[in-house]
Amino acid sequence: MKSAIKLLITWCKAFVQQSKLQVKFNNRGGRLGQKAYLLNPQYIEVGYNCRIKEGYRIECYDNFAGVRLFPKLILEDGVIIGFNFTCLVADKVSIGKDTILASNVSIISENHGTNPESETPYHAQPLHTAPVLIGQGCWIGQNVSILPGVTIGDKCVIGSNSVVTKDIASYSLAVGCPARTIKTYDFTLHKWIKSHEKYHRTE
């Protein structure tokens, strides 16, 4: 009986949180999918005409292992996010205007402590956090993972299945695990240039 009551209370809290975030989306002309898990939506700022499809998991941690944290998720105007989005927010996470994310993208701004000498298991060790900043007009491909401390510049393209562990400069195309820049956009030639070619091009 107690477990059933606890489950009901948990469901009610999740419903209230979902409703609060739905209001933010509706007031700004956006669309929020269902079938989701949401924790602490008060730390989420939503711009106009944002969309998140079904199956998202957004968790904002303001306290972990007795340590106060300062999460903030910012979705600027026109952000579009595909199915099964995962975002773990224990620091600032910002997604720039008109950026689009394909399905199964993960953005992580925290990591558990991994001190093997501690008697505390990894899952209960204090979190290490770092902001994740994604610029405007980016295209993040399917199954991409973006890890703590990464800044991705404006108008970048991140290829499917990439794991982004380091900063990516604006107007770059990056792929791989870990992701590396393979092309940058040349505004003089008006086309994408392979990274090794730009150093050998004659003027």
Q: Does a cis peptide bond (omega within 30 degrees of 0) precede residue 116?
A: no
Residues 58 and 89: beta-carbon distance below 8 Å: yes
Cβ neighbours for 67, distance < 8 A, ≥ 6 positions apart: 126, 127
State the DSSP code for 105.
-
* 112 classed as catalytic: yes
Alpha-helical regions (H) of the chain: 2-27
Cβ neighbours for 29, distance < 8 A, ≥ 6 positions apart: 48, 49
Q: Show the tokens assigned to 51.
A: 């969309």
For CA atoms 112, 124, 57, 44, the dihedral sign is: negative
Neighbours of 78 (CB within 10 A): 18
Catalytic residue among 112, 123, 128, 190: 112
Which helix (DSSP H) or strand (DSSP E) does residue 140 occupy? strand 139-140
Which active-site residues does the annotation give? Answer: 112
